Amino acid sequence: MIGKDEYIIYGFDLRFNDDNSQQSLEENKTFIPFRRTLEEKQAYQKMLKNELEVGIVIQIRQDKVKWYTCNFLIMKPSGTWRKILDVSKLNKEIEKLYFKMHGLEDVQYLANQTDYGISGDLKSALHHIKVSPNSISYQVFNFNNNNYAYKVMPFGTEHSPTFLAEAIYTTFMHIKYISKSKS
């Protein structure tokens, strides 16, 4: 497994291919300004304000930046905007993790008909998994000449689905354990 207890306590940590991966990113970091329409800029500013208020992102000093990601918006069919984090170059430097994907049987066992109150909004599930201080400086973006970094796990990194699946499974197992010990 991927050290569930470790990342739940200390935060999601980017696992690089090797030391050269980090060095390569830091040497090739490029400031990517946000260049979009006024409508997109206003929508982005509104999203960023919300992310700052909720604690998803933090402002970060220039000397702490190790890598810039590119952010942009796309229009969803509903007419609302979706924020896209392009971490494709970062993902090339991240180690691939292998894990057991829990199947339908596992989910049915954990959330059977006698379990009440097990529901959730996966839209913000990743935003409950913190990023370790060592990895924050690799998840930086710039907007209006200010640097911001994700202090919780963003969508898009190579490890996001793995850590999310493990966090959900671990949480359900803990709920099951607690509910059995109380009965």
Buried/exposed 91-104: b ≥16 CB within 10 Å, e otherwise:
eebbeeeeeeeeee
pLDDT reported for residue 141: 92
What average pLDDT is seen over the chain?
A: 77
Counting Cα atoms < 13 Å in the Cβ hemisphere of 144 gives 10
Q: Per-domain residue ranges for the chain?
A: 4-105+121-182
pTM over 0.75, yes/no: no
Partnered with residue 116 across adjacent β-strands are: none
Check: CB of residue 51 under 8 Å from CB of residue 85.
Answer: no
Query: Of the CATH numbers 3.10.10.10, 3.30.450.40, 3.40.50.2300, 3.40.640.10, which one belongs to the domain with range 4-105+121-182?
Result: 3.10.10.10
Residues 19-74 pLDDT 10s: 888 888 888 888 878 888 999 999 999 999 999 999 999 999 999 999 898 888 88
> What CA dihedral angle connects 60, 121, 175 and 4, to 10 degrees?
-40
